[in-house]
Copies of this chain bind each other. A is one copy, B any other.
């Protein structure tokens, strides 16, 4: 598989590494709005610098990986689909549910062949937890809890264009809930507060939030987010079932334990998403390559991307009105 990479920023570089180390894919070309970014990445990996249009037009390129800024995702998905390329696009599809829904409509039947980069589904621990559920190891699932804290708040400039915590950060957790429970919720209730960073509150956004989801069959999910956990990236999932509990715990930097007069201490969780999810990004790419060969749709597709966005939209509204939102009303 010859791949065109759209976007040569930090996350583009992560994907470039996954593409080039996979035995069945190679990086053919890269584009970026800032050509020096594209040049830097291209010289490291020995690939061409092209425009995105040139990439779409190149018949030797089989697939594109979209790692550009969010506001370009839908346009590029549509263009890539029209050009007949296999597509893996970073989350979210768009900050606007309307635009994302339009994109879904535009690509039509191809939606299930467009993969959305919800990398956490491919984390070894989260996917092992999901496999255990599917194997019936805890019976019927009943109550899901997702803890997802970033180590430090982003700059306010980022907050301004982020779409807000629910669309930017918790969208990963909405997709995780969909992944774990395999169903969409009926209601979404959100409370949010800006207690960690007043600058975030000044922008009208929240930095700490709790969302409760209810499901048609009586199940309940709770998602907790904070922009600031000083001890590192806190990424945990816990599911209570009729026959037990499954927990995916944090990955620590190393396994050293120290016992002194102060107590027993171990290493911190890995610092942030690049450290924690590097194996997930590689597994995500491998799943994409595999799914393209199999031709039976993507493990997480455009429809999933829109579904998570609808939940983010519902949570944003609930957070503002203080009332539960029925997802179907979105």
Contact = CB atoms under 8 A, between A and B. Distances in A.
Interface of A: 21, 23, 44, 124-125, 128-129, 132, 137-138, 140, 142-143, 145, 147, 149, 187, 189, 191, 193-196, 208-210, 212, 214, 217-220, 222, 224, 226, 228-232, 234, 240, 242-269, 322-324
A42 to B, nearest CB: 15
Nearest to A215: B193
Given A143-B210, A222-B222, A245 B263 contact: no
Given A125-B256, A195-B218, 8 more contacts: A21-B21, A189-B191, A226-B240, A229-B245, A234-B259, A243-B260, A244-B259, A261-B268
18 contacts: A128-B253, A128-B267, A132-B256, A140-B195, A143-B224, A145-B224, A187-B322, A189-B189, A195-B217, A208-B220, A209-B220, A222-B222, A222-B224, A230-B260, A247-B256, A248-B254, A265-B265, A265-B266
Contacts of A128: 253-254, 256, 267
Given A194-B218, A218-B195, A125 B254 contact: yes
Nearest to A252: B264
A257 B208 CA distance: 22
A258 B132 contact: yes
Given A243-B230, A253-B124, A265-B264, A138 B258 contact: yes
A147 B247 CA distance: 13
A225 to B, nearest CB: 9
A167 B44 CA distance: 42
Given A196-B142, A210-B143, A255 B248 contact: yes
Contacts of A249: 255-257
B257 A268 contact: no
B242 A137 contact: no
Nearest to A206: B218
A240 B44 CA distance: 41
Given A21-B21, A128-B267, A265-B262, A231 B245 contact: yes
Contacts of A257: 246-249
A113 B153 CA distance: 46
A323 B187 CA distance: 11
Contact of A219 (B193, B251, B256, B323): B193
Top 9 A-B pairs ranked by shortest CB distance? A244-B260, A265-B265, A231-B259, A193-B218, A195-B218, A249-B255, A125-B254, A245-B259, A125-B255
